[in-house]
Amino acid sequence: MPELPEVETIRRQLAPRLEGRTFEAVDVLDPRLTRPLDPREVAAELQGERVIGVERRGKYLVLQLEGGGALLVHLRMTGSFGFEPTSHERAVIGLEDGTRLVYRDVRRFGTWLVLAGDELEPYLAAKNGPEPLGPGFSTAWLAARLATRRAALKAVLLDQRVVAGLGNIYADEALWRARLSPLRPASSLRPDEVSRLHRAVRAALRTGIDRQGSTLRDYATPDGSAGAMQEEFRVYGRAGEPCPRCRGPIAKTRVGGRGTWYCPHCQPPHS
């Protein structure tokens, strides 16, 4: 599933190609994309709109429209954008410059939602905490969110209202950087550990953006290039391989139903 670095990479590639362009012909081919709304209704709303900005909030892509509304896209498992014909096309937008923007989604969990200008912020704020690379995501803010939660730290970090845009990969990478066990109760962290975690979350996400995301299974960037973050994974998907810090074997467990990789030596359950 694309996480913040993957969605940000997609945003950066889409922005120069979409900003200022008009949606001349909109075809939503899969009714699942817009349900419960009728795909023809959504297509009609988008038709003739001009894109004035391509933004990101957590894992959401936000296409700001000249009419004041926005198209909110969540890629979920396998959604992606491109400019070449492909298989599994779920929507196609013809732009006035002749370009054809294609939305592809193999597993069809992605969603498109058109919101009015005044609906956008409340909708996004209800689902996402502050941007983890922005000023609102402070150590104090994170400490307050963790203090009330006794669930496993990894599970709490995956809550988008705690760290917007964080998913399975970057949560494991951040916990390894912070030398914290994914299984610790979130409320058990000392202030110095929260500080380490705060820095580690940002570092893991920044590394992901620098490498243009991780190319796993169905992730693809709009220009067809591949991200290289998978070459930088310290623990994710590396069970049995040596920890880059202590050379001990990386272990795999499950937390909240999600595969979780960590170093039992560097990330002990108690500290």
Binding residues (CB under 5 A) for Zn ion: these are 243, 245-246, 263, 265-266
Query: Could you say which of 252, 258, 264, 268 is catalytic?
Result: 258
**Alpha-carbon gap, residue 3 to 61, rounded angstroms:** 11
Q: Which residue is nearest to Zn ion (CB)?
A: 243
Active site residue 127: no
Query: Could you say which of 17, 57, 59, 184 is catalytic?
Result: 59
Structure token digits, residue 196: 């380490």
CA proximity to 37, closest of 72, 64, 63, 11: 72
Structure token digits, residue 116: 């009015």
**Alpha-carbon gap, residue 200 to 80, rounded angstroms:** 28
Tell me whether residue 127 or residue 265 sits nearer to Zn ion (CB atom).
265
Cβ atoms 204, 170 nearer than 8 A: yes
Active site residue 202: no
What minimum distance in Å lies between the beta carbon of 89 and Zn ion?
44
Tell me whether residue 31 or residue 268 sits nearer to Zn ion (CB atom).
268
Tell me whether residue 32 or residue 265 sits nearer to Zn ion (CB atom).
265
What minimum distance in Å lies between the beta carbon of 103 and Zn ion?
41
Active site residue 2: yes
What minimum distance in Å lies between the beta carbon of 185 and Zn ion?
22
Tell me whether residue 103 or residue 262 sits nearer to Zn ion (CB atom).
262
What minimum distance in Å lies between the beta carbon of 245 and Zn ion?
5
> What one-character-per-residue DSSP string does 1-59 give?
---HHHHHHHHHHHHHHHTT-BEEEEEE--GGGTTTS-HHHHHHHHTT-BEEEEEEETT
Q: Is 86 helix (H, G, I), strand (E, B) or coil?
A: coil
Active site residue 59: yes
**Residues that are catalytic:** 2-3, 59, 258
